[in-house]
């Protein structure tokens, strides 16, 4: 960070401090007056960041530690004052979670979600961004149009999707006798596809904006040079745009992984609780069922940790594959 | 540097506090066995029960100025069990909840949230005197104590739409629905003639309790009154369980019931010609459906007075968060005495769990003959087994049912067999 | 010459055709949401796409209002969302400033923590946070309990940080020479310039809690405390209430839920450019 590189002006001995209502300022005063110089500045940075640090501790650090603790206990939501034994059970909760075929299914469902969501998002997001960047008119209109689904609540979107894809819905009417049987949302092959499409549609606008940010960073001179070399728009896209957006694609993939793991409202509401027959079960829904509904927080916490490991594993595998490809390209 | 150390120390202290808070189950609370004073209660949030609750509380408060009861609707969206579980953990449960679910009792006991009613000198005698020792014993927990007072039941039966039956050429007053063959023939006519989109529409979703309104009542009837689990063993991996599974599998295979969740009440909306539900629903059908009711079917038919069904009962418990437990118990007895049970019956149409229902409230039943059938059925009901991890057990059962019976992806016999061992391992955890 | 012009026109036509198609696909379901919410009888036939005079009305809005009383739910959504936005700005802005322009002990850890929480899946936290909030912090059915996990949006902190980094050093040098302390520099120099960053962060932060279902669903069980997304979700899942057109009722609720956030976005979208967003992700 360059902020500290420039010279540090010494604090005046008696700073003309107006009566500032800002809370973070007051605890800093004695330090500044007492010692002055760079150290006081150091403390101010800490004070400014402190509320956020406290927040990180309360909402992230403590629960994560607590999560590990619960996952190795036979934890009970005990009443205050009740003496309820919560014995250490080692890895029992993990074993129980892993022996549940629904958990394996829910992990596979994430992969299925990724297989549909990522290619669609990358292709459509990149192309729309590249095209959008070239528009001379109505750019704002189109950008907003793509983005509106992203700001709309999942619950609202689910309502429409339900109207579209339920038995006898618009989709069935459009397809007529081609309509799938069993119907979309109760068809174990199609239900997850419908959810993946819904999420892709909803998120696409956000990714278009990300890609657009990347596209706008590409210097025009590159395209001009390519144009002089006689490259058409398609070749320009493949030779210049796509490689320049590689980092954003990595981000998109990572975010898609997290979104897939976090699916809750869709399987809970659209497919009647992860149905049909577990085809749309998601880890988040399973954690809710086990940890809250069935009163087994130990198992729920264990699934949470297993899921994090799974995400790291998939993300790691992705990174490894990328490096392999890059190495091969370099060779 | 010193300052920084102070800051770090403060952070560490903060973390530790939070961790200790989370770690220990702080002392205090409890006690207060036989005290009297004002209490707080929750009742269900359906309109009829709210008016009963208000009336009963007002009646009590007039006569007990020093033991005022404040009644509230249970602050629940979809699942009151979850709300109560969370309230126990947070320590802000009320004294009494008039909406306990027998399947959840074992969990609440494990949380240390419920007071055994045996603690009250007349606890056991009152429960057994009101409900009858045999029926009451179903509500005992595994340690032999009563943590719930069996309050009311909603014996599940088959409701049918008389107009639709007539239109399909079926007898609207005495429909033949007692055997599986009868039921299937009727279903075929209803759906085949285009009178109804579906013969019947149980929710095909995977909430743990949904089997209480499709498989379980029919299994109880078919088996002559067996609960799902008896003596630590699954009962349903036999001919009776098989017959019921095959019956429902047939209904789904012939598309006589929807495999997709219906938004709204399919029976009220005339999408389904039949419903499988208890008498609480009568209030919602009033003025919308010209309905009749018959007992649930069995494979080869049984006389109506021998058919058992699922009780779908609600119970009342005293919570450990309650300080004035004596008042709570006294109010509980007051709210479930003969007069207030009569009010409950007339205001909600639900069946108080007491002996000799039809004779005790003879005048009510002669004035409301449509409820007589339910009163008779109420003496032959079975609840969910009072076992540990009941919710897990039902969830696993439900998952397998959907796969095998609804979606036909596994032979029913195979499912029943594996479900029997899953159930045993669930309740033994 | 002429063929080149012809080609360019063709290319422009394809370009606009492509984005128009994309825009239609983006907007169509929302259009259908509005149309469906106004249908007195659910009409899922193809011709139902065009509203028919005889089948139009506000009955679904009345029904959804009866089932989940919209105004209090919207009020809860507003408190939940605005609380989050305010906390994000009050806590996140100084933190972003400190991370961008100040050196202090533990800074790498805080910066690392910021990135970590951005990618951490919520499920790891779900059960322990639920236990802590309900049992230990006593925050069930409480606005603070709803806000807690969202209180300081990490993406917004990142946006603030990137924004302060992008401001020219000279600006701060001048302030320092004038003898302003860091707090005054932040308040008097940096803050007035942060309007676009604050607006971007507000939109990003706003849509999170406004649309969130899972966490408030866990933490609020009282109907009177539930934000609209949760009451609507519970209406969908229990489908207990009977209405003439249950689909239409859900869609009416969906419209009420969607309109405020779409309106906010359209108002703020001038500031909400991909450049502002991009600064948050360049990293």
pLDDT, residue C47, reads 83
Answer whether the bond into residue B282 is a cis peptide, omega within 30°.
Answer: no
Size of chain B, expressed as the number of residues it contains: 429
Tell me whether residues B78 and C140 touch, CB distance under 8 A: no
Phi, psi for residue B154 in degrees, rounded to 5 = -130, 70
Give mean pLDDT, residues B301-308. Answer: 93
| Residues of A in Cβ contact (< 8 Å) with C218 | 288, 292
Domain ranges of chain C: 2-55, 68-281
Domain boundary among B352, B367, B402: B352
Q: Are B320 and B114 in contact (CB under 8 A)?
A: yes
Closest CA to B352 of B369, B335, B331: B335
Domains delineated in chain A: 21-71 (no CATH), 93-330 (1.10.3720.10)
Phi, psi for residue B224 in degrees, rounded to 5 = 70, 30
Q: Which residues pair with B40 in a beta bridge?
A: B70
- Residue B415 counted as domain residue: yes
User: Angle at CA C205, nearest 5°, toward C200 and C207?
Assistant: 105
pLDDT digits (tens, 9 = 90+) for A247-263: 888 888 888 888 888 89
Neighbours of A68 (CB within 10 A): 16
Tell me whether residues A173 and C45 touch, CB distance under 8 A: yes
Residues B258 and B336 in one domain: no
pLDDT, residue B124, reads 96
Give mean pLDDT, residues A92-107. Answer: 93
The DSSP string of B389-410 is: THHHHHHHHHHHHIIIIIT--S
Given a cut of 90, is residue C197 above it in pLDDT?
A: no
Neighbours of A303 (CB within 10 A): 32
Residues B271 and B419 in one domain: yes
Give mean pLDDT, residues B241-263. Answer: 93
Confidence band, pLDDT 50/70/90 cuts, at residue C239: low
Residues B169 and B205 in one domain: yes
Given a cut of 90, is residue C85 above it in pLDDT?
A: yes
Neighbours of C283 (CB within 10 A): 11
Query: Which residue in the block uniquely carries the two structure tokens 């004002």?
Result: B38
Given a cut of 60, is residue A32 above it in pLDDT?
A: no
Tell me whether residues A273 and B206 touch, CB distance under 8 A: yes
CA distances from A137 to A128, A208, A217, C206 (A): 15, 17, 20, 29
pLDDT digits (tens, 9 = 90+) for C2-55: 556 787 788 888 888 889 999 999 999 999 999 999 998 888 788 888 888 888
Q: Which residue of B has its CA nearest to A273?
A: B206
pLDDT digits (tens, 9 = 90+) for A183-213: 899 888 999 999 999 999 999 998 998 898 8
Closest CA to C120 of B4, B198, A309: A309
Closest CA to A105 of A299, A277, A298, A227: A277
Q: Among B18, B78, B86, whose Cβ lies nearest the Cβ of C234?
A: B78
Residue A230, classified by CB atoms within 10 Å of its CB into exposed (0-12), middle (13-18) or buried (19+), is: exposed
Comparing C274 with A302, the larger pLDDT belongs to A302
Closest CA to C36 of A162, A145, A23: A162
Tell me whether residues B22 and A31 touch, CB distance under 8 A: no
Given a cut of 90, is residue B90 above it in pLDDT?
A: no
Residue B231 zone, left/alpha/beta (φ > 0; ψ -120 to 50; rest): left
Closest CA to B383 of B146, B217, B238: B217
pLDDT, residue B317, reads 97
| Residues of C in Cβ contact (< 8 Å) with A64 | 124-125, 128
Give mean pLDDT, residues B41-64. Answer: 93
Chain A closest-CA separation from residue B211 CA (Å): 14
Residues B407 and B422 in one domain: yes
The least confident of A34-38, A113-117, B40-44, C214-218 is A34-38
- Residue B15 counted as domain residue: no
Q: What is the mean pLDDT of chain A?
A: 82
Given a cut of 70, is residue B425 above it in pLDDT?
A: yes
Q: Among A31, A50, A57, whose Cβ lies nearest the Cβ of B15?
A: A57
pLDDT digits (tens, 9 = 90+) for B409-422: 999 999 999 999 99
User: Angle at CA C111, nearest 5°, toward C108 and C116?
Assistant: 120
- Residue B207 counted as domain residue: yes
Given a cut of 70, is residue B343 above it in pLDDT?
A: yes
Residues B60 and B139 in one domain: yes
Residues B319 and B304 in one domain: no
- Residue B369 counted as domain residue: no
Residues B89 and B228 in one domain: no
Given a cut of 70, is residue A34 above it in pLDDT?
A: no
pLDDT digits (tens, 9 = 90+) for C128-141: 999 899 888 888 88
Confidence band, pLDDT 50/70/90 cuts, at residue A13: very low
pLDDT digits (tens, 9 = 90+) for B305-332: 999 999 999 999 999 999 999 999 999 9
Given a cut of 90, is residue B167 above it in pLDDT?
A: yes
Confidence band, pLDDT 50/70/90 cuts, at residue B77: low
The CA distance from A184 to C227, in Å, is 30
The CA distance from B217 to B220, in Å, is 5
Touching subunits of C (3+ CB pairs, under 8 Å) are: A, B
Given a cut of 80, is residue A331 above it in pLDDT?
A: no
The CA distance from B135 to B256, in Å, is 35
Tell me whether residues C177 and A9 touch, CB distance under 8 A: yes
Closest CA to B42 of B79, B2, B97, B3: B97
The CA distance from C201 to B55, in Å, is 52
Tell me whether residues B75 and C247 touch, CB distance under 8 A: no
Q: What is the mean pLDDT of chain C?
A: 84
| DSSP-based three-state secondary structure for B255 | coil
Give mean pLDDT, residues B228-243. Answer: 95
Give mean pLDDT, residues C201-206. Answer: 87
Residues B72 and B118 in one domain: yes
The CA distance from C255 to C65, in Å, is 12
Comparing A43 with C91, the larger pLDDT belongs to C91
pLDDT, residue A295, reads 86
Query: Which residue in the block uniquely carries the two structure tokens 């590159």?
Result: A222
Structure tokens at B245: 């599974």
Q: Among B19, B79, B407, whose Cβ lies nearest the Cβ of A276?
A: B407
* Domain total in chain B: 2
Domain boundary among B302, B328, B352: B352
Give mean pLDDT, residues B161-172. Answer: 96
Phi, psi for residue A81 in degrees, rounded to 5 = 90, -20
Structure tokens at C100: 């961008």
Residue A219, classified by CB atoms within 10 Å of its CB into exposed (0-12), middle (13-18) or buried (19+), is: exposed
Q: Among A56, A155, A212, whose Cβ lies nearest the Cβ of C254?
A: A155
The CATH number of residue B304's host domain is: 3.40.190.10
pLDDT, residue A16, reads 35
Give mean pLDDT, residues A218-222. Answer: 86
Q: What is the mean pLDDT of chain B?
A: 89
Strands B314-319 and B149-153: antiparallel
Residues B189 and B243 in one domain: yes
pLDDT, residue C2, reads 55
The CA distance from C195 to C276, in Å, is 11
Q: Among C95, C120, C266, whose Cβ lies nearest the Cβ of A48?
A: C95
ipTM of model: 0.84
Confidence band, pLDDT 50/70/90 cuts, at residue C272: low
Q: Are B173 and B291 in contact (CB under 8 A)?
A: no
Comparing C198 with A299, the larger pLDDT belongs to A299
Give mean pLDDT, residues A305-312. Answer: 90
Residue C37, classified by CB atoms within 10 Å of its CB into exposed (0-12), middle (13-18) or buried (19+), is: buried
Query: Which residue in the block uniquely carries the two structure tokens 């970590």?
Result: C116
pLDDT, residue B275, reads 96
Chain C closest-CA separation from residue B131 CA (Å): 30
Confidence band, pLDDT 50/70/90 cuts, at residue C281: very low
Q: Are C207 and A151 in contact (CB under 8 A)?
A: yes
C103 shares contact with chain B (CB less than 8 Å) = no
The CA distance from C226 to C141, in Å, is 8
Phi, psi for residue B298 in degrees, rounded to 5 = -125, 170
Chain C closest-CA separation from residue A199 CA (Å): 12
Given a cut of 90, is residue A111 above it in pLDDT?
A: yes
- Residue B139 counted as domain residue: yes
CA distances from A213 to A199, A206, C115 (A): 22, 11, 20
Written in H, E and C, the secondary structure of C63-110 is HHHHHHCHHHHHHHHHHHHHHHHHHHHHHHHHHHHHHHHCCCCCHHHH
Q: Which residue of C has its CA nearest to B75?
A: C222
Residues B96 and B179 in one domain: no
Confidence band, pLDDT 50/70/90 cuts, at residue C189: confident
Give mean pLDDT, residues A60-86. Answer: 90
Answer whether the bond into residue B369 is a cis peptide, omega within 30°.
Answer: no
Residues B84 and B131 in one domain: yes
Q: Are C128 and A29 in contact (CB under 8 A)?
A: no
- Residue B299 counted as domain residue: yes
Q: Among B82, B261, B262, whose Cβ lies nearest the Cβ of C221?
A: B82
Chain B closest-CA separation from residue A64 CA (Å): 11
The CA distance from B335 to C270, in Å, is 63
Neighbours of C209 (CB within 10 A): 27
Chain B closest-CA separation from residue A111 CA (Å): 22
Given a cut of 50, is residue A28 above it in pLDDT?
A: no
Confidence band, pLDDT 50/70/90 cuts, at residue B21: very low
| DSSP-based three-state secondary structure for B22 | helix
* Alpha helix segments (H runs only) across B193-238: 215-222
Residues B284 and B344 in one domain: no
Chain C closest-CA separation from residue B90 CA (Å): 5
Given a cut of 90, is residue B199 above it in pLDDT?
A: yes
Given a cut of 60, is residue B334 above it in pLDDT?
A: yes
| Residues of B in Cβ contact (< 8 Å) with A43 | 3-4
CATH of domain C68-281: 1.10.3720.10
- Evaluate the CA torsion angle C189, C195, C198, C204 in order and state its sign: negative
| DSSP-based three-state secondary structure for C28 | helix
Structure tokens at C209: 């809690």
Closest CA to B305 of B234, B238, B376: B376
Neighbours of A174 (CB within 10 A): 12
Tell me whether residues B18 and C246 touch, CB distance under 8 A: no
- Residue B3 counted as domain residue: no
The CA distance from A257 to A259, in Å, is 5
Range of the domain at B322: 39-147+314-352
Size of chain C, expressed as the number of residues it contains: 283
- C139: Cα separation from own chain's centroid: 23
pTM: 0.85
């Amino acid at each position: 960070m360059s902020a500290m590189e420039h010279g540090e002006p010494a604090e005046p001995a008696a700073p003309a401090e107006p009566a500032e209502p800002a809370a973070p300022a007051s605890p800093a005063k004695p330090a500044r007056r007492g010692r002055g110089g760079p150290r006081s500045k150091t403390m101010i940075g800490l004070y400014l960041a402190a509320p956020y640090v406290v927040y990180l501790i309360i909402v992230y650090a403590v629960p994560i530690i607590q999560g590990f603790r619960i996952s190795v206990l036979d934890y009970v939501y005990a009443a205050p004052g009740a003496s309820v034994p919560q014995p250490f059970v080692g890895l029992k909760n993990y074993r129980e979670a892993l022996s549940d075929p629904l958990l394996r299914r829910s992990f596979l469902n994430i992969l299925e979600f990724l297989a549909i969501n990522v290619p669609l998002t990358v292709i459509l997001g990149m192309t729309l961004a590249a095209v959008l960047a070239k528009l001379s008119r109505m750019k704002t209109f189109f950008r907003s149009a793509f983005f509106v689904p992203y700001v709309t609540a999942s619950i609202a979107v689910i309502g429409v999707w339900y109207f579209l894809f339920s038995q006898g819905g618009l989709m069935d009417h459009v397809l007529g006798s081609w309509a799938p049987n069993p119907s979309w949302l109760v068809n174990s092959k199609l239900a997850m596809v419908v959810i993946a499409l819904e999420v892709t549609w909803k998120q696409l606008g956000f990714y278009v904006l990300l890609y657009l940010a990347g596209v706008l960073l590409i210097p025009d001179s590159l395209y001009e040079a390519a144009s002089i070399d006689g490259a058409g728009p398609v070749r320009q896209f493949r030779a210049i745009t796509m490689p320049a957006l590689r980092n954003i694609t990595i981000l998109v993939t990572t975010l898609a992984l997290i979104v897939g793991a976090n699916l809750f409202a869709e399987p809970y509401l659209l497919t009647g609780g992860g149905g049909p027959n577990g085809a749309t079960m998601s880890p988040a829904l399973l954690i809710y069922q086990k940890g809250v509904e069935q009163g087994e927080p130990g198992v729920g916490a264990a699934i949470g940790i297993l899921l994090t490991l799974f995400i790291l594993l998939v993300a790691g595998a992705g990174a490894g594959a990328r490096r392999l490809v890059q190495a091969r390209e370099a060779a | 540097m010193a300052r920084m150390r102070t800051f770090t120390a403060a952070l560490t202290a903060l973390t530790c506090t939070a961790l200790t808070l989370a770690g220990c189950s702080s002392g205090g609370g409890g006690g207060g066995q036989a005290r009297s004073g004002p209490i707080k209660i929750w009742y269900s949030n359906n309109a009829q029960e709210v008016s009963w609750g208000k009336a009963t509380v007002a009646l009590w408060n007039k006569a007990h100025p020093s033991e005022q009861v404040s009644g509230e609707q249970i602050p629940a969206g979809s699942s009151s069990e979850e709300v109560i579980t969370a309230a126990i953990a947070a320590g802000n449960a009320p004294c009494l909840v008039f909406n306990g679910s027998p399947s959840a009792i074992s969990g609440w006991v494990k949380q240390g949230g419920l007071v055994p009613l045996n603690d009250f000198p007349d606890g056991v005698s009152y429960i057994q005197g009101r409900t009858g020792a045999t029926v009451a014993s179903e509500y005992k927990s595994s340690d032999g104590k009563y943590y719930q007072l069996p309050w009311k039941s909603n014996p599940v039966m088959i409701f049918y739409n008389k107009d639709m039956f007539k239109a399909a050429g079926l007898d609207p007053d005495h429909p033949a629905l007692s055997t599986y063959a009868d039921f299937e023939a009727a279903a075929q006519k209803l759906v085949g003639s285009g009178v109804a989109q579906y013969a019947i529409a149980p929710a095909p979703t995977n909430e743990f309790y949904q089997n209480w309104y499709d498989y379980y009542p029919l299994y109880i009837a078919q088996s002559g009154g067996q609960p799902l689990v008896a003596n630590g063993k699954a009962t349903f991996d036999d001919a009776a369980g098989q017959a019921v599974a095959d019956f429902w599998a047939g209904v789904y295979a012939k598309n006589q019931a929807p495999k997709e969740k219906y938004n709204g009440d399919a029976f009220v909306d005339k999408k389904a010609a039949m419903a499988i539900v208890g008498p609480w629903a009568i209030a919602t059908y009033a003025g919308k459906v010209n309905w009749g009711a018959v007992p649930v079917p069995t494979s080869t038919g049984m006389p109506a007075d021998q058919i058992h069904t699922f009780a779908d009962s609600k119970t009342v418990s005293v919570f450990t968060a309650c300080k004035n437990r004596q008042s709570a118990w006294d109010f509980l007895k007051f709210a479930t005495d003969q007069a207030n049970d009569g009010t409950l019956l007339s205001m909600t149409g639900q069946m108080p769990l007491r002996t000799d229902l039809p004779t005790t409230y003879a005048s009510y039943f002669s004035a409301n003959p449509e409820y007589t059938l339910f009163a008779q059925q109420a003496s032959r009901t079975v609840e969910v087994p009072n076992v540990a991890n009941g919710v897990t057990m039902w969830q696993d059962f439900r998952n397998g049912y959907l796969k095998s019976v609804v979606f036909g992806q596994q032979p029913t016999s195979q499912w029943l067999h594996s479900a029997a061992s899953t159930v045993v391992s669930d309740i033994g955890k | 010459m002429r063929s080149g012009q012809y080609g360019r026109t063709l290319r422009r036509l394809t370009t606009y055709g492509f984005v128009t198609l994309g825009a239609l696909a983006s907007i169509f379901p929302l259009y259908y949401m509005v149309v469906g919410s106004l249908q007195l009888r659910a009409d899922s036939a193809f011709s139902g796409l065009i509203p028919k005079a005889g089948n139009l009305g506000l009955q679904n809005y009345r029904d959804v209002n009866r089932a989940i009383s919209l105004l209090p739910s919207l009020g809860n959504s507003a408190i939940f969302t605005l609380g989050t936005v305010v906390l994000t700005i009050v806590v996140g802005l100084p933190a972003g400033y400190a991370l961008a322009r100040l050196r202090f002990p533990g800074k790498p850890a805080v910066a690392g923590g910021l990135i970590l929480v951005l990618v951490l899946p919520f499920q790891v936290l779900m059960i322990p946070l639920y236990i802590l909030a309900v049992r230990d912090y006593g925050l069930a059915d409480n606005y603070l309990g709803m806000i807690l996990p969202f209180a300081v949006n990490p993406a917004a902190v990142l946006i603030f940080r990137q924004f302060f980094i992008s401001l020219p050093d000279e600006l701060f040098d001048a302030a320092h020479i004038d003898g302003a302390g860091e707090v005054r520099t932040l308040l008097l120099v940096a803050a007035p310039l942060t309007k676009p960053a604050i607006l971007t962060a507000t939109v990003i932060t706003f849509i999170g809690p406004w649309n969130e279902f899972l966490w408030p669903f866990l933490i609020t069980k009282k109907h009177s405390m539930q934000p609209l997304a949760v009451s609507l979700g519970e209406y969908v899942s229990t489908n207990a209430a009977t209405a003439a057109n249950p689909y239409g009722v859900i869609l009416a609720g969906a419209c009420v839920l969607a309109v405020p956030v779409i309106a906010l976005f359209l108002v703020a979208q001038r500031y909400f450019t991909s450049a502002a967003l991009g600064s948050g992700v360049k990293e």
